[in-house]
Amino acid sequence: MSTAKITVLGINGHIGHHAAKAFRDAGYDVTGLGRSNRMPIEGVTFVKGDAGNIAEIAAAIADADIVVNALNLPYDKWDKGRAEAQLATVIAAMGDSGKTMLFPGNVYNYAATDRHMTPGMAQHPQTPRGAIRVRQEAILAAASKAGKFQTIIIRAGDFYAPGNVGDWFDQAMLMDAKKGKVYHMADLDVGHAWAYLPDLGRAFVKVAEQRHGLGAFETFHFAGHFETHGAMLAAIQAAAPVPLRAGQLPWIVLQAMGLAMPMMREIVKMRYLWNNPMELVDPRLGAILGKDFGTPFAEAVAASTKPFFAGKAA
Residues, the chain: 314
Question: Which pLDDT belongs to residue 154?
Answer: 98
Nearest alpha carbon to residue 151 among 134, 162, 139, 159? 139
Question: Which pLDDT belongs to residue 172?
Answer: 87
Residues of the chain with pLDDT under 70: 1, 263, 311-314
Average pLDDT in the chain: 94
- CA-to-CA distance for 18 and 51, rounded, in angstroms? 19
Residue 239 amino acid letter: A
- CA-to-CA distance for 57 and 83, rounded, in angstroms? 16
pTM: 0.95
Question: Which pLDDT belongs to residue 166?
Answer: 82
- CA-to-CA distance for 91 and 104, rounded, in angstroms? 15
Kind plus residue range of the DSSP H or E element containing 155: strand 150-155
Nearest alpha carbon to residue 19 among 139, 120, 103? 103
Nearest alpha carbon to residue 116 among 280, 313, 287, 309? 280
Residue 149 amino acid letter: F
Question: Which pLDDT belongs to residue 312?
Answer: 59
Answer whether 286's CB lies under 8 Å from 154's CB: no
Please check whether the domain covering 5-158+194-225 is classified as CATH 2.10.70.10.
Answer: no
> Which 3-state string (H, E, C) describes 156-225?
CCEEECCCCCCCHHHHHHCCCHHHCEEEECCCCCCEEEEEEHHHHHHHHHHHHCCHHHCCCEEEEECCCE
In tens, the pLDDT along 104-161 reads 999 999 999 999 999 999 999 999 999 999 999 999 999 999 999 999 999 999 999 9
Kind plus residue range of the DSSP H or E element containing 263: helix 262-269
Question: Which pLDDT belongs to residue 311?
Answer: 60
| Spatial strand order in the sheet of 158-160 | 158-160, 191-196, 225-228
Domain boundaries, the chain: 5-158+194-225, 161-191+226-276+294-308
Instruction: Return phi, psi of residue 118, to 5°.
Output: -105, 160
- CA-to-CA distance for 42 and 39, rounded, in angstroms? 10
- What is the rounded (10 degree) CA torsion for 165, 167, 173, 176? 30
